[in-house]
Amino acid sequence: QKEVEQDPGPLSVPEGAIVSLNCTYSNSAFQYFMWYRQYSRKGPELLMYTYSSGNKEDGRFTAQVDKSSKYISLFIRDSQPSDSATYLCAMIPNTGGFKTIFGAGTRLFVKA
């Protein structure tokens, strides 16, 4: 079983739609959960981070963590064509440290 699983998509939605992106993981030691956005030919850019379980909202973005199910989500409200990118979930264990584990990324297309 992969440590972090993420559906690669692609996911295509019309402008204004609510987008739901998800990851599952197997390592119960993960405590820090992040979402990165990656545009074509660019490095990942941190969007959201959450510690342990719960929700976090930032503008049109909401991150959710359900540690009991080992499942994390990113919701994008009122999606825009500029949101078209690859979204990577990422995790760090509760021991902290230097190594971030990434999911494979989901490609999102928002059509105008």
Partner 1 sequence: EPEVTQTPSHQVTQMGQEVILRCVPISNHLYFYWYRQILGQKVEFLVSFYNNEISEKSEIFDDQFSVERPDGSNFTLKIRSTKLEDSAMYFCASSESITGTGGAFDEKLFFGSGTQLSVL
Residues found near partner 1 in the complex (CB under 8 A): 4, 31-32, 41-46, 49, 51-52, 88, 92, 94-105
- Specify the residue, 17 or 38, whose C-beta has the smaller distance to partner 1: 38
Of 11 and 104, which CB lies nearer to partner 1 in the complex structure? Answer: 104
What's the token pair of residue 26?
């197997």
37 within 8 A of 84, measured Cβ to Cβ: no
- Cβ 51 vs Cβ 63: under 8 Å: no
Task: Between 103 and 110, name the residue whose CB sits nearer to partner 1.
Answer: 103
Between 105 and 108, whose beta carbon lies closer to partner 1?
Answer: 105
Smallest gap, in angstroms, from Cβ of residue 74 to partner 1?
16
The CA distance from 7 to 5, in Å, is 7
The answer to whether 31 and 97 have CB atoms below 8 angstroms apart is: no
* Token output for 17: 């739609």
Least distance (Å) between residue 38 CB and partner 1: 8
Instruction: Give least dist CB 112 to partner 1, A.
Output: 26
CB of 32 to partner 1, least distance (A): 6
Q: Is 105 helix (H, G, I), strand (E, B) or coil?
A: coil
